[in-house]
Structure 1
Amino acid sequence: MPSAPANAGYKLPQVTAIFWVLKIAATTLGETGGDLLAQTLHLGYAAASVLFLAIFVVSLGVQLRSRHFRPAVYWTVIAATSTAGTTMSDLINRGPGDGTDTGGGLGYGAGAALLISGLAVVFLVWRGSGQTFDVSDITNLRGETLYWAAILLSNTLGTSLGDYLSDSSGLGYWGSAALVAVVMAVILAAHYFTNVSGVLLFWMAFILTRPLGATVGDLFSKSHDKGGLGFGTYGTTAVLLTVLVGGIAYSYNTTRTKTVEQESETVPGKV
């Protein structure tokens, strides 16, 4: 899909390869980070959800007040939607505990139906508002607010889907991650070789990065007896956080370089 110009009117990142790398890293970090607090540290899904939602609200406030794209702020909000989405999904599906108890949740089927309905309502409101679905053209508060509402719900839904595939479908972590990766490869092929709407393909891929992150995060962090690689939530979260910080630093450098180039083009006498 088209890339957004790097100017003050645009607060969302350009959709490039580095965008997808950071999106997958952030959503995978959301899975391991959410599990770290809720399960490993036994904070519980309810308390962890409140904490992550507070982080989301604060970081979103900074993002909405910004006048131009700020990589650190944007990706902090994305990571917050992923961690909050992880714990909220587990809260809905499993109940308020930390995974060591049973009962109290709606289960994957009812939880997914609830979240799909919520996401559908957001997109219907979005369509009725007259705002564009094309993220390269979102430049006002109403459009950006709808954008973040869709992201929060899609990341919560994606966690449910990823957990269902990993835990209940029989595919396991490897099979689930491979399945989602294949579907995303099909979407990529459709982008290059078909006339399917680029905006539709973007949102399909954007939503699917969350179950991919959920399955990959569990694959790396869960113990061997559960079918994972046994790196734990601490180690996996640290590695993903390093990748995300490195990508943000790269984004700042790229943004700064493009700004300098644009300014040079506007100076009389510059070639």
Structure 2
Amino acid sequence: MEKLNNAVAKVPEVTLAFWIIKIAATTLGETGGDAASMSMSLGYLVSTLIFGVIFLVAVTAQIKADRFNPVLYWITIIATTTVGTTLADFADRSLGIGYAGGSALLLGLLLASLLVWYRTMGSVSVTTVSSSKAEMFYWVTIMFSQTLGTALGDWTADTEGLGYAGAALIYGGLLLAIVIAHYATRMPRTLLFWAAFILTRPLGAVVGDFLDKPIANGGLAMSRYGASIALVLFILVCGTLFRQRPAKVSH
């Protein structure tokens, strides 16, 4: 039987700082993924393989760690969002599934992951992520959510013609609705957490595209490298200013 930590988990406490860093990390995943697949001309498949290896190394280190390490945790999150960017682009564009088809497929995989996790562990709350098995479910679910978010962001901004700013307003509005629901209703906190976690990804995707896409396409035409470096620095500053504590474990 796995030894559980009765006080803390290896994932961070969910605070305002957590969400700020999460949005910045998902935006970095978009600019970083595009930098590799487009600016470096590696293509979606090669970039996905590279980031996939980085993700596997990071998540293995995260699962093997014996305590919460904020640096390792956020490196793993960034790895999921970069590989999610290139993987979604590969499925949507190279395989010809399209944004709507890719979003539907990934939503199904995400819901299946949450269902299997719940049936196996009895809960999908982050406060129960205190064993290797729960952590594996946690990271698989995050991987699907990050990839889904990329497809959703591209779908709303491009296919639906809302543009990057319009799509950002929609996802920002949905996140605001979740915040209101958190404070004004008794909706399950776990449901609200995963809804917010999923929605931060398309928000980050469209913000990342807004930063680096050509002006003619509605972007700011920033260098993908420059935008990625700025986001890394922002995450480092936030991580330094706002101390992150591990979530308390519930059983």
- Band of TM-score, shorter chain: over 0.9
Larger Cα-atom Rg? 1
Question: Identity of counterpart residues, as a percentage?
Answer: 42
Q: Could you say which residue in structure 1 is the equivalent of 2:195?
A: 204
TM-score (norm 1): 0.86
Determine if contact 2:212/2:220 at 8 Å carries over to the other structure.
yes
Determine if contact 2:29/2:78 at 8 Å carries over to the other structure.
yes
C-alpha distance in 2, partners of 1:60/1:127? 21
> Per the alignment, in what secondary structure is the counterpart of residue 51 of structure 1?
helix
Give matches, 1:63-82, under 5 Å.
Answer: 63-82=62-81
Determine if contact 1:31/1:82 at 8 Å carries over to the other structure.
yes
Letter in 2 for 1:46: L
Per-residue deviation, 1:109: 1.9
Determine if contact 1:8/1:68 at 8 Å carries over to the other structure.
no
2:119 aligned with 1:120: no
Q: Could you say which residue in structure 1 is the equivalent of 2:22?
A: 23
2:84 aligned with 1:85: yes
Letter in 2 for 1:60: V
Per-residue CA deviations over 1:44-65 (Å, capped at 9, x if unaligned) read 0000000001000001011001
Letter in 1 for 2:155: Y
C-alpha distance in 1, partners of 2:174/2:133? 31
> Per the alignment, in what secondary structure is the counterpart of residue 12 of structure 1?
strand
Letter in 1 for 2:47: A
Q: Could you say which residue in structure 2 is the equivalent of 1:98?
A: none
Per-residue deviation, 1:9: 4.0
Once structures 1 and 2 are overlaid, which stretch shifts more, 229-238 or 62-71? 229-238
Q: Could you say which residue in structure 2 is the equivalent of 1:236?
A: 227
> Per the alignment, in what secondary structure is the counterpart of residue 11 of structure 1?
strand
Letter in 2 for 1:112: S
Q: Identify the match of residue 129 of structure 1 among 108, 120, 123.
A: 120
2:187 aligned with 1:188: no
Per-residue deviation, 1:169: 0.8
C-alpha distance in 1, partners of 2:176/2:207? 16
C-alpha distance in 2, partners of 1:248/1:132? 29
Letter in 2 for 1:234: Y
C-alpha distance in 2, partners of 1:234/1:19? 24
Per-residue deviation, 1:118: 1.1
Residues 21/7 of structure 1: CA separation in 2 closer, same or farther (3 Å cut): farther
TM-score (norm 2): 0.92
Q: Could you say which residue in structure 2 is the equivalent of 1:152?
A: 143
Q: 5+ unaligned residues in a row in structure 1: which ranges?
A: 1-5, 96-103, 257-271
> Per the alignment, in what secondary structure is the counterpart of residue 72 of structure 1?
helix
Residues 24/254 of structure 1: CA separation in 2 closer, same or farther (3 Å cut): closer
C-alpha distance in 2, partners of 1:22/1:248? 8
Per-residue CA deviations over 1:169-206 (Å, capped at 9, x if unaligned) read 11101100000000100000000011111110000000
- Number of positions where the alignment pairs a residue of Structure 1 with one of Structure 2: 242
Q: Could you say which residue in structure 2 is the equivalent of 1:227?
A: 218
Letter in 1 for 2:178: I
Letter in 2 for 1:29: L
Determine if contact 1:132/1:143 at 8 Å carries over to the other structure.
no
The RMSD of aligned alpha carbons is 1.7
> Per the alignment, in what secondary structure is the counterpart of residue 10 of structure 1?
strand
Letter in 2 for 1:23: K
Per-residue deviation, 1:119: 1.0
C-alpha distance in 2, partners of 1:224/1:23? 26
Residues 254/88 of structure 1: CA separation in 2 closer, same or farther (3 Å cut): closer
Residues 106/243 of structure 1: CA separation in 2 closer, same or farther (3 Å cut): same
Per-residue deviation, 1:250: 3.5
Q: Identify the match of residue 247 of structure 1 among 224, 227, 238.
A: 238
Q: Identify the match of residue 108 of structure 1 among 96, 99, 104.
A: 99
Q: 5+ unaligned residues in a row in structure 2: which ranges?
A: 247-251
